[in-house]
């Protein structure tokens, strides 16, 4: 973990609102809004658009507050997320993921009656199913060909495959080939050959785009990038649209990239047991996403944080905080953290101002 | 056991409506990712534990934090558990409202809201709590007096895990006396959790560690008894140590949880228990060398898992995807369904709102995961309203 201490809300027992019950997820709206503004500034004058990935928080109230400026719509990972976002009026939605189940495709195209919708495709089979469902629903669906540009997950692996898929899409009623997408994955500052990897990923996107254009297909959109590769994507000539999402809430391990974003969300816990040199907080793995390592303390120093199911055992200097004290931790992985909570408390500085449902929590279907 | 109250039956009705189209379907026809509960595997696990408990002088308290399911908890009681253990007061409220009479929060309860919640639910069921500090005792006592209820209290003992709990009889004695003198509280005994043993896969070493942990726990119980604070309950153990602990002289009850649902970690510790809970996933992308499933760390949890019935190497787990190495010899294509066996099932359960309950491969019911939490203060509001 980096030495950088994230600036974030310790929040939030003051003000007129009653004390929240712990463990609780708290977002500092001032910081969140500053992150959104900083992103708009970064993109101003670049000609790039932003389609924030809302799988980060699965929270419609936060998604609404990311609109404006360079934002042309939102990105989702699942049909369930897209449904939750469309329900609050978000009307331009890309599901940047493969969907193959016919019942899910039917749900997806139904959203086309109230939003412009787009789906990632990497295989002619699901494209044909999508076409059938779109025709049945009487809507037109945008399609982006998913390109495996680095991650070896989904996506076509070659320009030839992309052209063949484009031909299949072109013959399919109800589908409109809008362009391509590729996600290069999280590339940390300390990753080996970071610059080379990003360069190769974007070269692959450029090659696929050129092949499609040469074959006579339009490529209106090249959608890619996450927060970790933001600068490189802005500087790239091929990419037209960014899918970053974490920027709005940030994660500690990305702070060393020097981006103009600060950590905006933390888990608040209560000291439920105290011992010499150690306190135990009521916040464990079932409320804190751990994929990127243990959470980072806010406003206090910990020698070590050990996380079990329901507890964070924190080694710290004596005198340790009193029983009942509130301590905050910034999760290493913000997205899985949000998916563990029903709602997020909203603070401005030290004041709790609201509580918003994480409507798409668990919407992995 | 009392009947479940409307809090539970309404939640059950809600998820049955939400997943109505899944009921009656074969597992191969379900929308994914889905949390599966194989009812016959669950019953088999409960029966193994029930048989094991017949030969030992201790009783079983099923820890429900693992599954957060009123329905599974009731089955555990039907299979001989005397009651349940919970990690939070919210779980305790749900379990009491599920009709279970003996509910213990095996965790420190701090803060007036949570003490109040526990004191209110103690009007409806026999409720116990765990402390390691005088402040918790005072908080529980005033809440119980205000609610007009009685809370049983156990002292938490650190058996070597170094999390919560007192480490010596010298620390425990004044707490026991304070509990005995506190209005609204009843001193019940000691509890400890030898969780550090469950990280040791060598059975001989693990059992030796568990016996050392029980030495600490029962030693403190003996000291308390000799000093006027006899322990009616001495409770410990998890699925990795239950057999040693259940036989250890001086221990009166065990509190395992994972034995019911199981996961990869606990199957390495005790393979007699089978897979009752898995995650159903679909192949959403088929590449020449790999398959991509629609279940990743946001459904399976950070501790990941493997594909059932297929010996596939793991390539990577992402949030919405897991990727397994699969060459052309692996006959899995786009749209095929597989089950993921989780390395640690509780993390997966935290990500879902309901179980698809299967018998002979088809969905016979939908059971809620409850409380989903973590912050479930609405349950206190409900008690305050007298509902």
B18-38+273-368: CATH class: mainly beta
Give the pLDDT of residue A71: 98
Is the confidence at residue B375, as pLDDT, over 60?
Answer: yes
Residues in CB range of A237: below 8 A, 6 or more apart: A206
Residue A52 inside a domain? The answer is yes
Size of the A and B interface in Cβ pairs below 8 Å: 158
Say whether A252 sits in a helix, a strand or coil. Answer: helix
Q: How large a percentage of chain B has pLDDT more than 90?
A: 97
Confidence of residue A6 (pLDDT cuts 50, 70, 90): very low
With beta carbons less than 8 A apart as the criterion, state whether B140 and B112 touch: no
Beta-carbon separation of B320 and A20 below 8 A: no
Give the pLDDT of residue A13: 40
Q: In chain B, where are the structural domains located?
A: 18-38+273-368, 101-256
Give the pLDDT of residue B229: 97
Domain that holds residue A40: 29-248
Which residue, among B230, B235, B266, B231, has the nearest Cα to B248 in the 3D structure? B235
Residue A196 inside a domain? The answer is yes
Mean pLDDT of A60-73: 97
Q: Which residue of A has its CA nearest to B31?
A: A365
Residue A143 inside a domain? The answer is yes
φ and ψ of A341, to 5 deg: -120, 150
Residue A182 inside a domain? The answer is yes
Say whether B240 sits in a helix, a strand or coil. Answer: coil
Is the confidence at residue A16, as pLDDT, over 90?
Answer: no
Confidence of residue A352 (pLDDT cuts 50, 70, 90): very high
Beta-carbon separation of B114 and A21 below 8 A: yes
Give the pLDDT of residue A362: 87
Distance CA A280, CA B110 (A): 11
Total tally of structural domains belonging to chain A: 1
Give the pLDDT of residue B372: 87
Residue A194 inside a domain? The answer is yes
* Contacting residues of A for B162, CB less than 8 Å apart: 278, 313
Distance CA A68, CA A36 (A): 9
Beta-carbon separation of A101 and B135 below 8 A: no
Structure confidence by residue, pLDDT tens digits, B12-53 = 999 999 999 999 999 999 999 999 999 999 999 999 999 999
At which residue do the structure tokens 């790239």 appear? Answer: A236
Which residue, among A179, A170, A267, A167, has the nearest Cα to A218 in the 3D structure? A179
CA atoms within 13 A on the CB side of B155: 31
Structure confidence by residue, pLDDT tens digits, B108-133 = 999 999 999 999 999 999 999 999 99
Which residue, among B114, B142, B166, has the nearest Cα to A273 in the 3D structure? B166
For residues A44 and A18, the model is more confident at: A44
Can you name the residues that pair with B234 across neighbouring β-strands? B190
Beta-carbon separation of A289 and B111 below 8 A: no
Give the pLDDT of residue A156: 96
Note the Cα A77 to chain centre separation in Å. Answer: 9
Q: How large a percentage of chain A has pLDDT more than 70?
A: 95
With beta carbons less than 8 A apart as the criterion, state whether A254 and A264 touch: no
CATH number for A95? 3.20.20.10
Structure confidence by residue, pLDDT tens digits, B146-205 = 999 999 999 999 999 999 999 999 999 999 999 999 999 999 999 999 999 999 999 999
Structure confidence by residue, pLDDT tens digits, A179-234 = 999 999 999 999 999 999 999 999 999 999 999 999 999 999 999 999 999 999 99
Distance CA B305, CA B318 (A): 12
B101-256: CATH class: alpha beta
Give the pLDDT of residue A227: 98
Q: Which residue of B has its CA nearest to A311?
A: B163
Of A272, A309, A336, the CB nearest to B319: A336
B80 burial level (CB within 10 Å; 0-12, 13-18, 19+): middle
List the single range of A6-10, A240-244, B23-27 with lowest mean pLDDT.
A6-10
* Contacting residues of A for B318, CB less than 8 Å apart: 153
Residue A72 inside a domain? The answer is yes
* Contacting residues of A for B374, CB less than 8 Å apart: 23-24, 283, 286-287, 340-341
Of B292, B321, B374, the CB nearest to A286: B374
Handedness of CA A199, A202, A206, A207 (dihedral sign): positive
Of B107, B318, B374, the CB nearest to A153: B318
Note the Cα B347 to chain centre separation in Å. Answer: 11
Peptide linkage before B120 cis (omega within 30 of 0): no
Confidence of residue A363 (pLDDT cuts 50, 70, 90): confident
Of A308, A324, A340, the CB nearest to B110: A324
Mean pLDDT of A258-284: 96
Pairing mode, if any, of strands B253-254 and B277-287?
unpaired
């Amino acid at each position: 973990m980096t030495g950088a201490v994230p600036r974030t809300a310790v929040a939030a027992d003051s003000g007129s609102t009653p004390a929240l019950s712990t463990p609780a997820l708290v977002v500092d709206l001032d910081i969140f809004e500053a992150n959104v503004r900083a992103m708009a500034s970064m993109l101003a004058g670049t000609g790039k658009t932003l389609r924030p990935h809302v799988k980060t928080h699965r929270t419609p109230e936060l998604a609404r507050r990311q609109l404006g400026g360079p934002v042309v719509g939102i990105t989702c990972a699942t049909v369930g997320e897209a449904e939750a976002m469309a329900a609050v009026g978000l009307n331009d939605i890309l599901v940047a993921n493969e969907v193959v189940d016919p019942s899910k495709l039917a749900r997806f195209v139904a959203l086309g009656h109230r939003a412009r919708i787009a789906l990632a495709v990497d295989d002619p089979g699901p494209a044909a199913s999508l076409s059938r469902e779109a025709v049945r629903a009487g809507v037109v669906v945008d399609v982006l060909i998913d390109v495996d540009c680095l991650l070896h997950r989904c996506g076509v692996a070659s320009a030839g495959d992309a052209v063949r898929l484009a031909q299949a899409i072109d013959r399919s009623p109800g589908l409109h080939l809008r362009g391509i997408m590729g996600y290069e994955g999280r590339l940390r500052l300390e990753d080996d050959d970071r610059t080379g990897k990003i360069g190769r990923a974007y070269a692959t996107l450029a090659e696929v785009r050129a092949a499609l254009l040469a074959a006579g297909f339009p490529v209106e959109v090249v959608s890619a990038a996450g927060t970790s590769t933001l600068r490189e994507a802005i500087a790239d000539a091929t990419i037209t649209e960014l899918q970053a999402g974490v920027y709005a809430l940030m994660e500690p391990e990305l702070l060393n990239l020097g981006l103009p974003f600060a950590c905006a969300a933390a888990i608040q816990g209560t000291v439920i047991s105290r011992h010499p040199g150690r306190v135990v907080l009521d916040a464990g793995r079932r409320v804190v996403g751990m994929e990127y390592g243990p959470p980072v303390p806010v406003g206090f120093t910990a020698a070590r944080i050990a996380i079990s199911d329901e507890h964070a055992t924190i080694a710290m200097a004596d005198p340790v905080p009193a029983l009942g004290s509130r301590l905050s931790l910034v999760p290493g992985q913000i997205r899985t953290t949000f998916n563990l909570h029903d709602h997020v408390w909203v603070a401005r500085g030290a004041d709790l101002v609201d509580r918003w449902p994480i409507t798409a929590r668990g919407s992995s279907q | 056991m009392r009947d479940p109250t409307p809090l539970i039956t309404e939640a059950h009705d809600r998820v049955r409506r939400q997943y109505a189209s899944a009921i009656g379907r074969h597992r191969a026809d379900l929308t994914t990712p889905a949390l599966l509960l194989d009812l016959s595997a669950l019953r088999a696990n409960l029966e193994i534990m029930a048989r094991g408990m017949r030969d030992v002088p201790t009783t079983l308290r099923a820890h429900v934090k693992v599954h957060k399911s009123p329905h599974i908890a009731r089955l555990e009681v039907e299979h001989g558990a005397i009651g349940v253990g919970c990690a939070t007061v919210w779980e305790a409220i749900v379990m009491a409202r599920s009709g279970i009479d003996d509910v213990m929060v095996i965790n420190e309860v701090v803060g007036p809201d949570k003490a109040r919640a526990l004191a209110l639910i103690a009007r409806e069921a026999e409720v116990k709590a765990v402390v390691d500090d005088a402040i918790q005792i005072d908080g529980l006592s005033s809440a119980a007096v205000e609610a007009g209820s009685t809370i049983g209290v156990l002292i938490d003992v650190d058996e070597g895990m170094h999390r919560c709990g007192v480490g010596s009889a010298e620390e425990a004695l004044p707490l026991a006396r304070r509990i005995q003198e506190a209005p609204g509280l009843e001193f019940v005994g000691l509890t400890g959790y030898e969780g550090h043993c469950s990280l040791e896969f060598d059975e001989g070493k693990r059992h030796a560690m568990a016996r050392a942990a029980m030495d600490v726990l029962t030693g403190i119980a003996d000291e308390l008894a000799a000093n006027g604070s006899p322990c009616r309950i001495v409770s410990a153990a998890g699925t990795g140590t239950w057999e040693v602990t259940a036989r250890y002289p001086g221990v009166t009850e065990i509190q395992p949880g994972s034995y019911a649902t199981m996961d990869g970690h606990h199957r390495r510790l005790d393979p007699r228990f089978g897979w009752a809970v898995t995650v159903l996933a679909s192949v959403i992308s088929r590449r020449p060398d790999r398959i991509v499933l629609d279940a990743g760390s946001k459904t399976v949890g950070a501790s990941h898992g493997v594909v059932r019935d297929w010996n596939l190497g793991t390539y990577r787990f992402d949030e919405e995807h897991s990727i397994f190495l699969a060459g052309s010899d692996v006959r899995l294509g786009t749209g095929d369904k597989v089950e993921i066996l989780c390395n640690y099932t509780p993390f997966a359960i935290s990500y879902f709102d309901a179980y698809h309950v299967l018998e002979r491969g088809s969905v016979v019911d939908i059971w809620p995961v409850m409380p989903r939490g973590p912050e479930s203060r609405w349950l206190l509001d409900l008690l305050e309203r007298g509902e």
